[in-house]
Amino acid sequence: MANQVDLSQLAVDRSGSAVVTAGKRRNFATRYGLPLGILVAFAAVIGWSLQDSLLPAKSVTITPVVLTRAEVQQSGTPVFQAAGWIEPRPTATVVSAQVEGIVETLLVVEGQEVELGQPLAKLVDADSRISLAEAKAALRLRDAELELAKATCEAAHTSLANPVQLQAAVAEAEASLAKVATDSQSIPLLLKGANSRLQLAQQDLEGKLKVGDAIPQRSVQRAQSELDSATAAVHELEQRSKSLESEAKSWQDRVTALRSQLTLKSDENRRVKEAEAGCNIAAARVDQAKLAVETAELRLARMTITSPIAGRVLALHVQPGRRLMGLSPASERDSSAVVSLYDPKNLQVRADVRLEDVPNAQMGQPVQISTAALAAPLTGEVVAVTSQADIQKNTLQLKVLIHNPPAVIKPEMLVQVTFLAPELPGNKDIAAQDPLRQLIPKELVTTTPEGTTVWVANLQTSRARQQAIQLGKASTDRLVEVVQGLTATDKLIVSGRDELSPGKRIRVTGEDHNLNGATNSLNANASAPQMAAESKNQK
């Protein structure tokens, strides 16, 4: 009993057990959670470092962006060569017969120098001489007709100024009218005398009739006859009086008409107009005859074919006895050509330039022309690029002007043309002033309606990126300039571009060596004249 048991010690403290439980939980997070998190993080780092080996990626090759400046060749440096031949500039002069005829004789030979207007050939001219004589005879006839027409015209003008015939007609009509008037005035007196004789004859007849048989019958008949005669005389005078009145009126009308005609002079004016028209017709016929003479003279002159230029005979196209068609519309081509001439001081070379060398040729570019006929080369310059391409030789023809060609140079001679680098304004400063150009292979450029792009490899993320770019004007046969969109450190994807998409993982297996030829020949291509010109134009 002395030792008493303290039952309070057996009691369970609930608040103390909660603290122990919390401590146990913290120990679990420290022991297990933290190491597990470290392991997960370590595994993530290991996975990230091994992602190139674990995740699928497209194998590609790359090439860098090429940086360069345009190199300018020194003036006079040979650029390329081409074969060619000499020809007249611009062309040979073909001398043709302008009239139809037969060649009688040739007065020149090939290679002969001729002067302006020098006879080259003669045609048979007998017919032309006869035609000229006929034309001159016709002209003389027309001149005589003109003189006759002028005389007629002068007479018509004189008649118009002095109408003598009309004045005479008026005077004659007036005289006739005066005579009729005089006769009309004498009729009353004559009629009075006739009436007196009629009365006497009537009284004589009546007296003899009253006597009867005392007077012979013959005396009565005589008295009757005298009475009839007196009666007839009276009737005649009466009728004549009426007739004279009508005749006087008629002559008066005629005098009036003639005076009016004398005033108007209509017939004279008509004759003057007809005479003047006749003079004009005759003068026109004279002009026609003169033209006919000039035509005949021109035809006769054209029977001698002369040189239109001072030069040298290139070729003869006819022989004596050959018939030429002249300027006839029905003549065939070259059917009237006689000789071909050229100016030996104006020659050119037609050069066959390879198509790959055509971009290196410029208008005015200096050249050297070599031929076996000369020890030293000639100088010249490019003057034209023709449109005549040879599909078999793969060439294009260029025309080169020869400076001061010597006399030994002839058309159709074969020559070798060396095209030299031209003298460009400020060409010494072009390379120094030209900034670095970014050039990439043409085959890596993709052009779509949306724009121009290339595939760029991001070496840090191993991802492919489709980059939009802008192309420039400078280029070579395999490289093209990029003016916007790329940097000097960008790497372009060469192989494996067909299966790429933006952001796709890639694995770079190395640089592409197939494009080394393009980059290695960059300096040679950049030194061509056109690249220097493009550089200057862009500035």
Work out the average pLDDT over 222-232: 84
The per-residue pLDDT for 8 is 56
pLDDT at 526 over 70: no
pTM over 0.75: no
pLDDT of 33 strictly over 90: no
Q: How many domains does the chain have?
A: 4
- Per-residue pLDDT at 538: 44
DSSP character for 271? H
* 216 and 253 co-located in one domain: yes
**Is residue 65 a part of any domain in this protein?**
no
Any idea which residue has 């001698």 for tokens? Answer: 304
Same domain, 361 and 400: yes
pLDDT at 234 over 80: yes
In a domain, 40, yes or no: no
Give the residue-averaged pLDDT of 222-246.
83
| For residues 407-418, average pLDDT | 94
| Shared domain check, 406 and 348 | yes
CA distance 117 to 308: 6
Higher-confidence residue of 537 and 484: namely: 484
Mean pLDDT of 96-109: 94
pLDDT at residue 532 above 50? Answer: no
Does the pLDDT of residue 15 top 70, yes or no? no
In a domain, 405, yes or no: yes
534: pLDDT strictly greater than 60: no
Residues 6+ apart with CB under 8 A from 187: 237, 240, 241, 244
Lowest mean pLDDT among 5-19, 186-200, 322-336, 445-459: 5-19
Q: Are residues 168 and 253 in the same domain?
A: yes
Q: Which of 213, 231, 264 is the last residue of a domain?
A: 264
pLDDT tens digits, residue range 244-268? 888 888 888 888 887 887 777 788 8
Least confident stretch, 4-8, 202-206, 364-368: 4-8
Q: How sure is the predictor about 443, in pLDDT bands with cuts at 50, 70 and 90?
A: confident
Largest pairwise CA distance in the chain = 268
Q: What pLDDT shows up at residue 186?
A: 82
| CA 488/CA 151 separation, integer angstroms | 106
CATH of the domain at 112: 2.40.50.100
Same domain, 317 and 349: no
Mean pLDDT confidence for 185-197: 83
Dig out the tokens for 13 from the structure. 């403290």
* Per-residue pLDDT at 451 exceeds 70: yes
Residue 432 has pLDDT above 90, yes or no: no
Q: Give the model's pLDDT for residue 188.
A: 84
The closest alpha carbon to 535, from 377, 421, 424, 449, belongs to: 424
**Confidence grade of residue 127 (pLDDT, cut at 50, 70, 90):** very high
Q: 520 in a domain, yes or no?
A: no
Residue 168 and residue 216 in one domain: yes
- More confidently predicted of 519 and 131: 131
Peptide bond into 90 cis (omega under 30): yes
The percent of residues in the chain predicted with pLDDT above 70, rounded, is: 81
Examine residue 67 and state whether it is found in any structural domain, yes or no.
no
Same domain, 348 and 412: yes
Domain-embedded: residue 22: no
Q: What is the mean pLDDT of residues 58-62?
A: 86
Residue 471 Ramachandran class (φ > 0 left, ψ -120 to 50 alpha, else beta): beta
What is the rounded average pLDDT for all residues in the chain?
A: 82
Six-digit token string for 131:
């035609």
Q: Are 417 and 80 in contact (CB under 8 A)?
A: no
Residue 23 lies in a domain: no
Residue 13 has what pLDDT?
53
Residue 412 has a pLDDT of 93
Question: Is 318 inside a domain boundary?
Answer: yes
Say yes or no: 445 and 499 in one domain: yes
Interior angle at CA 173, CA 167 and CA 179, nearest 5: 135
Which residue, of 341, 367, 398, is where some domain finishes? Answer: 341
Q: What is the CATH number of the domain that holds 490?
A: 2.40.420.20
Q: Which residue has the higher pLDDT, 7 or 375?
A: 375
Contact between 369 and 381 (Cβ < 8 Å): no
Domain termination site, one of 323, 341, 359:
341
Q: What angle do CA 450, 453, 459 make, to 5 degrees?
A: 140
174 & 259 share domain: yes
**Shared-domain flag, residues 359 and 390:** yes
According to the model, what pLDDT value does residue 528 have?
A: 39
Which pair of tokens denotes residue 191? Answer: 């009629």
Q: What range defines the domain where residue 107 resides?
A: 93-125+306-341
pLDDT of residue 279: 93
Q: How many Å apart are CA 485 and CA 175, to the nearest integer?
A: 127
CB 382 within 8 A of CB 363: yes
**Higher-confidence position of 120 and 246:** 120
- Region 324-351: mean pLDDT is 85
Same domain? For 414 and 471 the reply is no
Q: Is 458 helix (H, G, I), strand (E, B) or coil?
A: strand
pLDDT of res. 330: 60
Clarify whether residues 361 and 335 are in a common domain: no
CATH code at 351?
2.40.30.170
Most confident of 3-12, 67-76, 162-171: 162-171
